[in-house]
Amino acid sequence: MIGRLLLAVLTASTMAVAACGGSSPSSNSGSGSGTGSSSGAAQTMTFNETEFKIDPASPSLKAGNYTFTVLNKGQFPHNLQITTPDGSVLAATDTIQAGGSATLQVTLKAGTYPMKCTIDGHAARGMVGNLNVT
Judge whether 15 lies within some domain: no
Give the angle subtended at the CA of 58 by the CAs of 36 and 120, to the nearest 5°: 120
- Residue at 115 is within a domain: yes
In a domain? residue 108: yes
Total count of residues recorded for the chain: 134
Domain count, the chain: 1
For the domain that residue 37 is a member of, what is the CATH number?
2.60.40.420
User: Which structural domain, as residue segments, surrounds residue 58?
Assistant: 25-133
Per-residue pLDDT of the chain (134 residues; tens, 9 = 90+): 444 443 343 334 333 333 333 333 233 333 333 333 445 789 999 999 999 999 999 999 999 999 999 999 999 999 999 999 999 999 999 999 999 999 999 999 999 999 999 999 999 999 999 999 99
* pTM for the whole structure: 0.70
Task: Give ∠ CA 81-59-40 in degrees, rounded to 5.
Answer: 85
In a domain, 2, yes or no: no
Tell whether 65 is covered by a domain: yes
The count of other CB atoms within 10 Å of the CB of residue 107 is 13
Give a yes or no: residue 88 inside a domain: yes
On whether residue 5 sits in a domain, the answer given is: no
